[in-house]
Structure 1
Amino acid sequence: MGGFTLDDILATRKPRDSWWTVFMVDPLACRLALLVANHTSITPNGLTRLSMLIGFASAAAFTEGMLAAGAVLFYLSFTVDCMDGKIARLKGTGTPFGLWLDYVGDRVRVVCCAFGWGFGEYTRTGDTDVVLAAVGVVVLDLFRYINGPQLKRVKDATRALLYARLDGQYVLAESVLRSRPRSELEQAAAEFGEVATDEGATVVDLQKAFHARFPWYDRFRVFLVRHRVRTHVVSGIEFHAAVFVVGPLFGPRAMVPVSVVAGALLLTFEMSLVYRVWLAARQVPSTAAEKQKILV
């Protein structure tokens, strides 16, 4: 039905993604997406609904104590979920409603699977720690999705305030880097504090304070960029993978400890985002003297 190649599918991948997706899911998802694109007429929304159905099957398996089956089904559900965006970008068949469906589908899958293994294990063992872990997983997942949009609002407000204080006569260092080819981006990122534009515009680095505290960060970021991996190393995707794939494969006794460790790492990385946004907000000058300090 189509003449798409694997290169076409690979071109639809996100520029940067979670390491779990890049290394553990995309190699399979891209090849399955190629089959779907060339031999079926299934839509991205159809794939999202299929992902949700497999997610329900995973939750049912967890409830019945079939942890390994639940883990495999959860992995398959996420793999199909990764395919819908690729098909949408490849064929241009994405819809605004599909964005909502994809978001809600992810949340429903997490809630069902969490309470599936939580209350399923509780009915078999009477261990209340499993129930508390399941509730904690749901709360952390919701917190992550609440925290992200709020941090974006703070970033946008910080940039708007900076624009007003500097009368719009500046360009953000991160914008300069995004506009460059990847090879130049990697080189410039390694010397982030020396970024400049060809037009000679004033360059402002809102991350100057963060870079001063963590000079190794940009080298780490460049290393990850070369492998298409984002710097938020433990995001919701890795959290879900640990809780619903890795933990269950190691058996009932591993599920609570794995959830606790994964949750702690998720919170650590979420708080690191909050810290970076807080430092950036403090860079906005309030006086003429402070204007000179923020210039790169």
Structure 2
Amino acid sequence: MRTYSLDDVYETRKRRDSWWTVYFVDPVACRVALPVANHTRLTPNGLTVLSLVLGTVSAACFAMNQLVAGALVFYLSFMIDCVDGKIARLKGTGTPFGLWLDYVGDRIRVVLCAGGLAYGQYALTGDVIYVVLGAAVAVLDLFRYVNAPQMKRVREAVREECGLPEPDDDRGDRLPRGRSFPKRLNRFLARRRVRSHLISGIEFHAAVFVIAPIAGAWALIPLAVLSGVLLLTNEVFLVYRMWLFTRRHSVASTQESREHVLV
């Protein structure tokens, strides 16, 4: 059996990723992935199931008002979730079912932890706002991860219709010149593998289930609201960018059709 090096594991990292993953998860996940790859027979699907089990434990901790313990177990669950992808890419053992399991497992973990957090705080305080908070977190997460693949399908449909090449990075389609993210900062982030956005689903989860519980119960509502607003703002921007992309290429396609008819 091949022995992998840490450099081999580093090669499995995504070219661009969320800043939370790059700075706070990957440094740990890569070092955990190395002994897992070299000394165990754990499969990516097995690691995904382990991640979901840990997510359930995190939800139970939140439900018992053990906020710090819940936050630490949630971080561990997410870190293991990152390890399974690295093992799949390192050994070439990823499967379509594994992608589905990973995706659905993430959603289940968030719903369970949101419910656990809401139940624990409601049982402690009797304040219904925590029930609303848990429901809002679950809905925002589901919206984010339902919206993303639908936007991807729209872009792919436009590319196929217009004969456009695939984008050369994972940031999606660029805005027209003069409206894109400042180039210098974007190059700076690219060299560090960081995607050019402030908050995505990953940072939202980190704020609600890791940072806020560690800070204390007082931080749950303010950080959840702030991160939720930022997440929605990011989603609106992505939808606007997708609209610009479809509008620009729809106009170009119409003009080409007219020119073809005239010729």
TM-score normalised by the chain length of structure 2: 0.90
Q: 1:228 aligned to 2:193? A: yes
Residues 38-59 of structure 1, C-alpha deviations (whole Å, 9 max, x = no match): 1111111111111111111100
Shift of 1:289: 11
Tell me if the contact between 1:247 and 1:258 (Cα under 8 Å) persists in the aligned partners: yes
- Secondary structure at the aligned position of 1:287 is classed as helix
Equivalent position of 1:244 in the other structure: 209
Counterparts of residues 109-128 of structure 1 (less than 5 Å): 109-128=109-128
Q: 1:264 aligned to 2:232? A: no
- Could you tell me which amino acid in structure 1 is paired with residue 234 of structure 2? F
Shift of 1:283: 1.1
Shift of 1:161: 3.6
Equivalent position of 1:71 in the other structure: 71
Shift of 1:2: 4.8
Tell me if the contact between 1:62 and 1:70 (Cα under 8 Å) persists in the aligned partners: yes
* Partner Cα separation in structure 2 for residue 116 and residue 290 of structure 1: 58
Query: Which ranges in structure 2 are unaligned for 5 or more consecutive residues?
Result: none
TM-score normalised by the chain length of structure 1: 0.81
- Could you tell me which amino acid in structure 1 is paired with residue 96 of structure 2? P
Shift of 1:120: 1.2
Equivalent position of 1:51 in the other structure: 51
Shift of 1:130: 1.1
Equivalent position of 1:203 in the other structure: none
Change (3 A) 1:289 1:104: closer
Shift of 1:217: 2.8
* Partner Cα separation in structure 2 for residue 233 and residue 208 of structure 1: 17
Change (3 A) 1:208 1:23: closer
Counterparts of residues 124-273 of structure 1 (less than 5 Å): 124-163=124-163, 172=165, 175=167, 207=174, 209=176, 211-214=177-180, 216-273=181-238
* Partner Cα separation in structure 1 for residue 178 and residue 31 of structure 2: 43
* Partner Cα separation in structure 1 for residue 10 and residue 241 of structure 2: 32
* Partner Cα separation in structure 1 for residue 239 and residue 36 of structure 2: 40
Tell me if the contact between 1:2 and 1:37 (Cα under 8 Å) persists in the aligned partners: no
Equivalent position of 1:197 in the other structure: none
- Could you tell me which amino acid in structure 1 is paired with residue 43 of structure 2? T
Tell me if the contact between 2:175 and 2:241 (Cα under 8 Å) persists in the aligned partners: no
- Secondary structure at the aligned position of 1:115 is classed as helix
Change (3 A) 1:207 1:67: closer
Shift of 1:288: 5.2
Tell me if the contact between 1:110 and 1:138 (Cα under 8 Å) persists in the aligned partners: yes
Structure with higher Rg: it is 1
Q: Percent identity?
A: 56
Change (3 A) 1:208 1:7: closer
How many residues end up aligned between the 2 structures?
253
Shift of 1:290: 9.5
Equivalent position of 2:255 in the other structure: 287
Change (3 A) 1:92 1:283: same
Change (3 A) 1:283 1:4: same
User: Which sits farther off after the overlay, 74-83 or 8-17?
Assistant: 8-17
* Partner Cα separation in structure 1 for residue 212 and residue 175 of structure 2: 39
Residues 153-196 of structure 1, C-alpha deviations (whole Å, 9 max, x = no match): 22122223433xxxxxxx65x74x56xxxxxxxxxxxxxxxxxx
Tell me if the contact between 1:67 and 1:251 (Cα under 8 Å) persists in the aligned partners: yes
- Secondary structure at the aligned position of 2:14 is classed as coil
